[in-house]
């Protein structure tokens, strides 16, 4: 794929629309690392600056982020197998989210088993999981973006943000509509994030990841490029349905 191809150009622009999200997560991760005491255990009391930062950032980024924070690995915070410093907008105001982490409870919020956590824990530098309905947490339709937080080779947890799916789609659509050909952005789980045509429905899963097909296939993808955003999303361009592309 040449550097001046349509899919490369659109993939670069699509990445730029969402890059600020990962910039915010980097700031959160840096604040978590600054919060660690030089000696002694890390406790919730060390996160006072982080809590203020999260509330302020959430109040500023109203369009695309509706929840964000720090999610700790087991016992990184003293005495806490599970710990979240997470804020979200409730009635349009930032508020601390409180969840049930009691493993004996039937409705425990066990984020240790959730893909957005496990992918970051496994070392993936940038995660964007979804769209999905967060039934066990916020009950919202969302994309969860995360980055791992590591110190001295140890995984401390992650910085994460729940994104407004409609705003993510809107930003990507502004890019995809620059072409008259059918174009789609698909996540690593083959789910459609945005498309400039009803040919692909947002949230639906493709049978396979987009790949350039043979010229004999009238519905083939003609160009496919991974977004430089680094979260596993790809942009595909196909002949317009009906053969008018």
Residue 86 belongs to domain with CATH number: 3.30.450.20
Asked which of 164, 185, 219 is the last residue of a domain, the reply is: 164
Asked which of 125, 147, 164 is the last residue of a domain, the reply is: 164
- Clarify whether residues 49 and 89 are in a common domain: yes
Domain count, the chain: 2
Distance CA 77, CA 84 (A): 10
- Clarify whether residues 155 and 174 are in a common domain: no
**Which of 142, 150, 3 is closest to 86 using CA atoms?**
142
Report pLDDT for 245. Answer: 43
- Clarify whether residues 117 and 218 are in a common domain: no
E strands, 22-82, in order: 65-72
In a domain, 195, yes or no: yes
Asked which of 164, 199, 215 is the last residue of a domain, the reply is: 164
- Clarify whether residues 146 and 196 are in a common domain: no
- Clarify whether residues 90 and 16 are in a common domain: yes
Distance CA 116, CA 145 (A): 7
**Which of 150, 241, 210, 244 is closest to 1 using CA atoms?**
210
Report pLDDT for 184. Answer: 98
- Clarify whether residues 105 and 175 are in a common domain: no
Report pLDDT for 138. Answer: 64
- Clarify whether residues 211 and 143 are in a common domain: no
pLDDT in tens, the chain (245 residues): 566 799 999 999 999 999 999 999 999 999 999 999 998 899 999 999 999 999 999 988 778 999 999 999 999 999 999 999 999 988 888 899 989 998 888 888 999 999 999 999 999 999 999 998 887 666 788 999 999 999 999 999 999 999 999 999 999 999 999 999 999 999 999 999 999 999 999 999 999 999 998 887 877 899 999 999 999 999 999 988 765 44
- Clarify whether residues 157 and 133 are in a common domain: yes
**Which of 227, 228, 208 is closest to 217 using CA atoms?**
208
Report pLDDT for 172. Answer: 98
- Clarify whether residues 108 and 172 are in a common domain: no
Q: CA distances (Å), 189 to each of 91, 129, 142, 149, in order?
A: 32, 8, 15, 23
In a domain, 4, yes or no: no
For residue 204, what are the domain limits?
A: 167-238
- Clarify whether residues 69 and 153 are in a common domain: yes
**Which of 120, 121, 83 is closest to 102 using CA atoms?**
83
- Clarify whether residues 26 and 147 are in a common domain: yes
- Clarify whether residues 229 and 215 are in a common domain: yes
In a domain, 132, yes or no: yes
């Amino acid at each position: 794929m040449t550097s001046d191809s349509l899919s490369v150009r659109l993939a670069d622009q699509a990445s730029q629309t969402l890059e600020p999200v990962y910039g915010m997560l980097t700031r959160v991760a840096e604040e978590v690392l600054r919060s660690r005491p030089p000696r002694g255990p890390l406790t919730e009391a060390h996160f006072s600056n982080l809590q203020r930062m999260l509330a302020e950032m959430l109040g500023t980024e109203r369009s695309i982020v509706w929840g964000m924070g720090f999610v700790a690995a087991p016992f990184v915070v003293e005495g806490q197998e599970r710990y979240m410093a997470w804020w979200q907008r409730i009635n349009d105001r930032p508020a601390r989210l409180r969840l049930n982490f009691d493993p004996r409870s039937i409705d425990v919020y066990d984020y240790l088993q959730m893909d957005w956590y496990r992918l970051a824990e496994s070392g993936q530098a940038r995660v964007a999981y979804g769209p999905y309905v967060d039934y066990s947490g916020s009950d919202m339709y969302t994309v969860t973006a995360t980055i791992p937080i590591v110190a001295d080779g140890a995984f401390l947890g992650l910085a994460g943000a729940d994104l407004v799916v409609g705003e993510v789609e809107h930003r990507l659509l502004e890019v995809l509509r620059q072409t008259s050909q059918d174009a789609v952005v698909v996540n690593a789980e083959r789910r459609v994030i945005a498309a400039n045509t009803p040919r692909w429905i947002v949230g639906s899963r493709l049978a396979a990841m987009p790949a350039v097909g043979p010229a004999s296939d009238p519905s083939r993808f003609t160009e496919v490029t991974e977004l430089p955003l680094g979260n596993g999303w790809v942009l595909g361009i196909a002949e317009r349905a009906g053969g008018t592309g």
